[in-house]
Structure 1
Amino acid sequence: MKDVFARLASDLLSVIIFLAVYLLTDNVILATAVAIAGAFAQVIYARLKGQPLHYMTYASLALVIVLGGITLLTNDPRFMLAKPSIAHFAIGAIMLKRGWMLRYMPPVIVETVPEYVTIAGYAWAALMFVIGAGMMAVAATGDLKLWAFYLMVVAGGAKILAFAVQYFVLWLIVTNRRRAAARA
């Protein structure tokens, strides 16, 4: 779980930098330039450390460059705020692959309730699309405080809640099936 949060923070680092600098300076150009520089620094740092760079790292860098460039040209922060939405849509699309979640589950769950894990995978994809759409709608308002609240509290809270519900439901189903098998 710690690795998931580290990767999420890494993927959102440029947006967090942008938001922090923008809120401190109220300067879109400076905030965007620092965010783009931060994204490049992140890739360079990973290369120097010999860390593998995944597809999402390069996609994140490309999004920062493209959306940051549009933000610089228009002086409108909403383009940078759209980056996490696009990332959520991409992740949701990846999660539409049948059974993607099975490799992340403990063997007892995979052996006992694989059909429920597949359903949970689709539910996660739907959640990513809903969060992305909500984030895009909030970004369109241009209200940075509302957007930051949505990103950190609403989107983050929804993922934590979904994880807890999934854990509880799968545990309950596995427990019931094991009891039924023991009685039979």
Structure 2
Amino acid sequence: MKDVFARLASDFLSAIIFLAIYLITDNVVLATSVAIATAIAQVIYARVKGSQLSFMTYASLALVIVLGSMTLLTNDPRFMLAKPAIAHFAIGVIMLKRGWMLRYMPPVVAETVPEYVTTAGYAWSGLMFVIGAGTIAVASTGDLRLWAFYISVVAGGAKILAFAVQYVVLRLIVTSRLRAAARA
């Protein structure tokens, strides 16, 4: 679990840096410049360390550079604020692949209720699209505090709630099916 949070922190480091500097200084140019430099430094550090970099790492770097450049050219932070939406849309598209979630499930779940796991995968995809659309809507206001609240509390909370609901529902369904099979 610690690895997951470390990976998330690494993936969102430039956005976190941007947010912190912008909230402290109210200087969009400084915040954006440091966010771009941070993203580039992360990739250089990983390459020097010999780490294998994924497509998503390079895609994230490209987004930071492109959206950061747009932010610098327009002096408008909304471009940087929109970056998480693009990531949510991309993940939502990936989650449209039938059965993607099966490999993340314990064998008892994958073998007992694969159709429910597939449905849950589509529900997760829908959630990513909804969160992405919400991010765009909130980013378009330009209100950084609202955006920070949305990204951390609303989007994060929605994912935690969805995970909890999925866990409970799949557990109940699997238990019910296993009991029915034992009686038969």
Quote the residue 1:121 is aligned against: 121
RMSD: 0.9
Cα distance in 2 for partners of 1:62, 1:2 equals 27
Q: Deviations over 1:45-82 (max 9, x none)?
A: 21222222111111100000000000000000000000
CA distance in 2 between counterparts of 1:46 and 1:105 reads 30
Distance 2:4 2:124 in 1: 15
Residue of structure 2 in register with 1:23 after alignment: 23
CA distance in 1 between counterparts of 2:15 and 2:166 reads 29
Alignment of 1:110-149 (within 5 A): 110-149=110-149
1:117: Cα distance to partner?
Answer: 0.5
Which amino acid letter does the alignment assign opposite residue 149 of structure 1? F
Q: For residue 12 of structure 1, report the CA deviation from its aligned partner.
A: 1.4
CA distance in 2, matches of 1:167, 1:3: 21
| Superposed CA offset, 1:76-107 (max 9, x none) | 00000000000000000000000011111111
3-state SS of paired residue (1:103) = helix
Distance in 2 between residues matched to 1:122 and 1:141, nearest whole Å: 29
Which residue does the alignment assign to 1:94?
94
Q: Does 2:73 align with 1:73?
A: yes
Aligned length: 184
SS of equivalent residue, structure 1 residue 167: helix
Shift in Å, 1:10:
1.8
**After the TM superposition, which of the residue ranges 84-93 and 49-58 deviates more from structure 2?**
49-58
Aligned equivalents of 1:11 and 1:136: distance in 2? Answer: 19
- The one-letter amino acid of 2:4's match is V
TM-score, normalised on structure 1?
0.97
Distance in 2 (CA, whole Å) between partners of 1:92 and 1:4 is: 19
Q: Distance in 2 between matches of 1:166 and 1:119?
A: 10
TM, length-normalised to structure 2: 0.97
The amino acid across from 2:35 in the alignment is A
Unpaired runs of 5+ residues, structure 1, are: none
Q: Residues 131-154 of structure 1, C-alpha deviation per residue, up to 9 Å, x if partnerless?
A: 000011000000000000000000
| Counterpart AA for 1:3 | D
What is aligned with 1:52?
A: 52
d(CA) in 2 for partners of 1:12 and 1:98? Answer: 27
Q: Name the CA distance, whole Å, in 2 between partners of 1:117 and 1:10.
A: 29
CA distance in 2 between counterparts of 1:160 and 1:88 reads: 15
> For 1:16 and 1:179, how far apart are their aligned partners in 2?
47
Q: Letter of the aligned partner of 2:132 in structure 1?
A: G
Deviation at 1:8, TM superposition (A): 2.3
CA distance in 2, matches of 1:167, 1:53: 31
Q: Report sequence identity in percent.
A: 83
